[in-house]
Amino acid sequence: MSQAKQVDEWGQQGRDLPSLAGVPVAVKDNMLVEGVKCTAGSKILEDYEAPYDATVIEFLRSEGAVILGKTNMDEFAMGSSTENSAFQTTKNPHDLERVPGGSSGGSAAAVASDMSVVALGSDTGGSVRQPASFCGTVGFKPTYGAVSRYGLIAMASSLDQIGPFAKNVNDAKIVFEAIKGGDRFDSTNVDKEFTKRNEDLKDLTFGVPEEFFSEGLDQEVEEEAKKAIDKVGQEANLKKISLPHSEYALPVYYIIMPAEVSANLARYDGIKYGATEEADNLLEFYSKTRGQNFGKEVRRRLMLGTYTLSSGYYDAYYKRAQKVRTLIKKDYQEAFKDVDLILTPTSPTPAFEVGAKSDPLSMYLSDIYTASLNLAGLPGLSMPCNKVDGLPVGLQVIGDVFEDYQVLDVAQKIERII
């Protein structure tokens, strides 16, 4: 209320109002908001209070945004359904028996259900775009490094990126404008002047990768995605392309990501901050604190990552995965020599029922069309293109590195015709 009151006073004083003046913004609970609890969906941080604002929160405040509250998430952003939260399971506003996607499911649900005008999420392997697809909102993952990660609780540092959820592409663009920019506190952040675009669709060529329309894609989702792509094809040029190493994106992601999780979550030892458990010695203290306060999925990924980085396995797994990651990136570089943007489905299925994917592998497959962008550092946007049995289906627009404005501007044009 104090934030909203300040904006009212600006208006009464006749000041020029900034772009987000008075706009309510929901924030995924892995971004620090000073004086507010930040749990990352985990019991180990259940009582942790943020001592400072994340850079994106500072930027939002400077634009007059009202920080409305925190949104639920999979614990430490590990999940694709928001069922892994230590506190509650978020429901999909379109069908309360179904998940909203994850790990930023709370932010997607908040925007889709009119609880908030826009929201922030983080995307490590699809965690903004996939829930946007499930909830029928726009979700944008900027180029890696375009938005500061300072004050974002780290999951996998070479993959994490903060991005907005919104009702439409223009709103997502306004939020991106507010949160992008240089930050000396984030060594991976790039302070760059982005090229703004205003291109006619008829002058553009869109690539459609054959590997994204194969076994595993729900037939009705495929039909709706193809209908949307065909409508784009009536205004622009479509070209079939191949991304031959994209089939390895998910296995590569699930080697690199747990390895970085293992390193990043080592700091949660119950000593500096977070939950602690009584024990007779240091080893028992660590074991109890982490064993009792980390959830099942977090423990699974910690073990996978620690194994991957262990002596004798580092070269066999982690090093080889990084080599294939380079090949995935090269595939996209080659594709963008012939096309301007790429169109794909966002997720292989619509939102699934709560509890339907108890098998971890079937859950991991939810990110099959999104993870490769994080490995390559590319910008990507999911936008609603239709529905299957009343459930939203998302179309993904992929751009080249730092062509964020091209993705946003073209998506605005696509929004009008699909």
**193: exposed, middle or buried (Cβ count in 10 Å: 0-12, 13-18, 19+):** exposed
For the question of residue 103 being annotated catalytic, the response is yes
The answer to whether the beta carbons of residues 289 and 270 sit under 8 Å apart is yes
Exactly one of 80, 103, 116, 366 is catalytic; which is it? 103
Q: Any residues with CB less than 8 A from the CB of 120 and at least 6 apart, and which?
A: 25, 26, 27, 28, 31, 56, 60, 107, 162, 163, 164, 165, 175, 179
Q: What b/e sequence results for 36-54 when a residue is b if at least 16 CB atoms lie within 10 Å of its CB, and e otherwise?
A: bebbbbbbbbeebebeebb
How many CB atoms lie under 10 A from the CB of residue 16? 6
Three-state secondary structure of 92-148: ECCECCECCCCCCHHHHHHHHCCCCCEEEEEECCCCCHHHHHHHCCEEEECCCCCEC
Q: Could you check whether the bond before residue 347 is cis, i.e. omega within 30 degrees of 0?
A: no
In this structure, what token pair is assigned to residue 373? 């962008």
Biggest CA–CA distance in the chain, Å, is: 71
Residues 73 and 91: their CA atoms lie apart, in Å, by 11
Exactly one of 122, 127, 246, 372 is catalytic; which is it? 127
- 3-class state of residue 167 by DSSP: coil
Phi first, then psi: what are they for 311, rounded to 5°?
A: -55, 130
In this structure, what token pair is assigned to residue 160? 């994490």
The answer to whether the beta carbons of residues 161 and 56 sit under 8 Å apart is no
- Based on C-alpha coordinates, what's the Rg of the chain? 21
The answer to whether the beta carbons of residues 414 and 383 sit under 8 Å apart is yes
Residues 64 and 3: their CA atoms lie apart, in Å, by 8
Exactly one of 28, 91, 141, 357 is catalytic; which is it? 28
In this structure, what token pair is assigned to residue 366? 């939810």
Q: Any residues with CB less than 8 A from the CB of 192 and at least 6 apart, and which?
A: 146, 182, 402
The answer to whether the beta carbons of residues 379 and 143 sit under 8 Å apart is yes
Residues 40 and 32: their CA atoms lie apart, in Å, by 10
For the question of residue 19 being annotated catalytic, the response is no
For the question of residue 80 being annotated catalytic, the response is no
The residues annotated as belonging to the active site are 28, 103, 127
